[in-house]
Amino acid sequence: MRITCHMHLTRFVRTLLDRKDRLSMAVGLEVRVPFCNHRLVEYVYNTPWSLKTFDGREKSLLRQAVAPVLPRSVLERVKSPYPSPQNPGYTANLQQQVKELVADPDAQVFALVDRNWAQQIVAQDPARMPMGVRASLERTLDLNVWLELHSPELQLD
């Protein structure tokens, strides 16, 4: 779990904060992220996983810490993940980008991602695509950008 948390903090949180900055500044809104204080993040990162989920729920440590000041309805509600676009147009745009990538015979990403899988996915109806498959399209595009930026030497068996 520590490795997963590290990857989340160093990869996904950056994306979320960048998205938050862009969206809030686009409408002139100042948004604060109080739980992103580096001292708090370092402390919680170094806290054992068993303390973070001691009651079998996510964010147990945070829930317990703020229990005296929160209404019970807020304290006990189920965590809601960061919202993602529901518009099929977003998925269609992802499919178009992956379709262009599939057409590139030199795309390095297909050393790691199955090109046939990508071809099948871009042919699906975007309105009926499961969120997990759409997330795979996003990761494929992200991985392609990373490979282009860093040009690693891939050694695959």
**Per-residue pLDDT at 155 exceeds 90:** no
In residues, how long is the chain?
Answer: 157
pLDDT for res 122: 95
Contacts 24+ apart (CB under 8 A), 45-50: 45/2, 45/5, 45/6, 45/9, 49/1, 49/2
Q: What is the mean pLDDT of the chain?
A: 90
Mean pLDDT of 33-52: 90
Rounded CA separation 155/97 (Å): 26
Is 102 within 8 Å of 63 (Cβ atoms)?
no
Q: What is the pLDDT of residues 43-77, one digit of tens each?
A: 999 999 999 999 988 889 999 999 999 999 999 88
Please say whether the dihedral angle defined by the alpha carbons of residues 26, 29, 35 and 41, taken in this order, is positive or negative: positive
pLDDT for res 81: 66
Is 99 within 8 Å of 121 (Cβ atoms)?
no
Is 69 within 8 Å of 63 (Cβ atoms)?
no
Residue ranges covered by each domain of the chain = 2-75, 88-150
This prediction has a pTM of 0.55
Rounded CA separation 146/113 (Å): 14
Q: Identify the band that residue 110 occupies on the pLDDT scale cut at 50, 70 and 90.
A: very high
Mean pLDDT of 99-110: 96
pLDDT for res 142: 92
